[in-house]
Structure 1
Amino acid sequence: MTACRLLLQLFLPLSAVFALAACGPQEITVQVQGADAPGQTKVVFLAGPDSHGPGAHEHRAGSELLAAALRDRSPMVQTVNVYGGWPEDESIFEGLDALVMYCDGGKRHLINDHLDSFNRMLDAGVGVVALHYCVEVPRGSASADAMLRATGGYFETDWSVNPHWLANFTALPDHPVTTGIKPFALQDEWYFNMRFREQQVTYILSAVAPASTMQRGNGPHSGNDAVRKLVAEGAPQVTAWAYNRPGGGRGFGYTGGHFHANWQHDDARNLVLNAIEWVASE
């Protein structure tokens, strides 16, 4: 991806946020781009409505940027960008290799009302990437079971936390997702203390969280005694992970992605692009 094209993808969508906000509820739209030929890799980006002010939780603009970068990497990639919610016509999922979800989580998560469809994708071995708030689903719910099955981990309220902090990733594991990626530091809303499956999970990004991440009181997203103990002990906190699903299929979770401008960081962006290619190649 050229520098000029990346800058356009990063910053031009911000000017449209005000106009979108004035138009009421977002219509669900579908955009198909790239290869349509035998042997193609098909990736669906499921982007929920933008939920914050300009520059944060820009699910549509972030998905557009990542989809364009993915197509630039390979002429045999077809991307399908779904904006605003779950598509009414689920035929777009036919022949799917990977589903990338970038949406609000918790009670607003897009899979909550579509678990039958989501689980059918998992049964078929479709790879799943969950970005930022999308890693959170209601604790103890069928959605939590599905997310654990899909990616091997999720944000569990009253266990996981969502502070803003500068994470310094000083070392990376040897894994296809980290190919060409150098250690880096980045300010973001890095969630941590995820609830993980016990096996087949590889921690991709880990950093020691500073004491400032525990400045807030205890709450569903802000803190609890267990995570306070881990931070006080200086235990590395996992912010991205890869998962090999038993029986076939792969998953990846990335808790960064709050700030749209962070997609201009080469290592952060390319790590996520590597992950999309990895989950799609099973």
Structure 2
Amino acid sequence: MKYLALLLLFIVPQTFAVDPARVLIIVGPSKHPPGSHEVAAGGRVMKHCLETMANVPGVKADVVDAWPDQALRDAASTVVFIGDTFPAGRFPNPQQNLADLDAMMQRGCGIVCVHYATGLLGADVTPDGDHPLLRWLGGYFANRSCPHHESFARIFNAATITPAAAQHPITRGWKEFTLHDEPYINNYFGKGENKLAPNVTAIATSMLPPEAPKRETVAWCVERADGGRGFGIVMPHFYKNWTHEDLLRCILNSIVWTAKLEVPADGVKTTLPDLATFKPVSVDYVPPPPKPKKAETK
């Protein structure tokens, strides 16, 4: 019997407790008008959707609006940024923030940047455009203050977004779609001819601008040498577009993929309640008031 018990230890499958994947969502500052960006509500939307995925159970998400402590950083399988430009540079102590992120990336943590969180300012980059985000994410939106490159932000009434990598897990379960939004164009992917690096894959493209269409990369991913994964997407600008099923699935797929979980064959399935429940300033975009005209002088 003693030998039988020892034999069973080798042939009977063992059950081990596995910690759930944890997603750290970092919400940066934003000064956009109600109904656009809505970064705090957007962070809450992603948390809800990740924690209610029907076919990827067990994921937990933490949402913070300040630089996270080490316990949260150490627990994260992937980190998601949303805000007006890359939040690590907008919080206090940006150099220490980058050092903290570097430690996370070196252990293979994933990173996702949504819309303007893909953006860097001229003050963030070296004169030739170098920044750690270029390696962590595979590319970025170069604000017009950048000395080396200028990406463009413009709202399009109908931008058609096309999957660009049919075999990639992030493209599972969503199809080409058209929406009213602000997908950035002429994003920056590196020196020379601004081409994607060999380890960077275009996930979605769009023929923009409509008056002089050119195939623009509006979502991309990278598989890094440190074993980590990154994903950037330059939408959504409008808060109401979080209800767009194809866009939402693309973003959720990317978070799951960067956390090194298996993306289901038909993409992530989740339930999205009324966006108003996530307490935005406004669900709908409210344009800023017109600037007052200067009084004429005589």
The reply to whether TM is greater than 0.5 is yes
The alignment-based identity, stated in percent, is: 33
Of 268-277 and 129-138, deviating more is: 129-138
Contact kept? 2:163, 2:203, Cα under 8 Å: no
Residue number in structure 1 paired with 2:229: 250
Q: Give the distance between the partners of 1:279 and 1:99, measured in 2 at CA.
A: 9
Residue number in structure 1 paired with 2:172: 179
Query: Is there any run of 5+ residues in structure 2 with no aligned partner, and where?
Result: 1-16, 144-148, 191-196, 262-298
Residue number in structure 1 paired with 2:132: 146
| One-letter amino acid matched to 1:96 | A
Q: Secondary structure at the match of 2:113?
A: strand
CA RMSD of aligned residues (A): 2.2
Q: Give the distance between the partners of 1:49 and 1:265, measured in 2 at CA.
A: 24
2:183 to 186, 190, 199: 190
Residue number in structure 2 paired with 1:46: 26
Residue number in structure 2 paired with 1:76: 58
Q: Secondary structure at the match of 2:22?
A: strand
| One-letter amino acid matched to 1:201 | V
| One-letter amino acid matched to 1:173 | A
TM-score, normalising length from structure 1? Answer: 0.73
Structure 1 residues 171 and 92: CA distance shift in structure 2, 3 A: closer
Q: Give the distance between the partners of 2:209 and 2:139, measured in 1 at CA.
A: 23
| One-letter amino acid matched to 1:126 | C
Q: Secondary structure at the match of 1:153?
A: coil
2:155 to 151, 164, 168: 164
Per-residue Cα deviation, 1:192-212 (whole angstroms, up to 9, x for no partner) = 111115221111111111345
Residue number in structure 2 paired with 1:269: 248
> Which is helix-richer, 1 or 2?
1
Residue number in structure 2 paired with 1:86: 67
Contact kept? 1:129, 1:253, Cα under 8 Å: yes
Q: Give the distance between the partners of 2:189 and 2:30, measured in 1 at CA.
A: 27
1:135 to 104, 108, 118: 118
| One-letter amino acid matched to 2:111 | V
Contact kept? 1:70, 1:77, Cα under 8 Å: yes
Query: Is there any run of 5+ residues in structure 1 with no aligned partner, and where?
Result: 1-36, 213-231
Highest CA radius of gyration, 1 or 2?
Answer: 2
TM-score, normalising length from structure 2? Answer: 0.70
Contact kept? 2:81, 2:117, Cα under 8 Å: yes
Contact kept? 2:105, 2:226, Cα under 8 Å: no
Residue 121 (1) aligns with residue 104 (2): yes
| One-letter amino acid matched to 2:90 | H
Matches within 5 A, 1:198-217: 198-211=197-210
C-alpha deviation, 1:127, in angstroms: 0.3
Q: Give the distance between the partners of 1:203 and 1:150, measured in 2 at CA.
A: 15
C-alpha deviation, 1:138, in angstroms: 2.8
| One-letter amino acid matched to 2:244 | H
Q: Give the distance between the partners of 2:73 and 2:259, measured in 1 at CA.
A: 13
C-alpha deviation, 1:144, in angstroms: 4.8
Contact kept? 1:172, 1:183, Cα under 8 Å: no
Q: Secondary structure at the match of 1:94?
A: helix
Number of residue equivalences = 224
Contact kept? 1:244, 1:251, Cα under 8 Å: yes
Q: Give the distance between the partners of 2:43 and 2:176, measured in 1 at CA.
A: 24
Residue 155 (1) aligns with residue 135 (2): no
Structure 1 residues 154 and 112: CA distance shift in structure 2, 3 A: farther
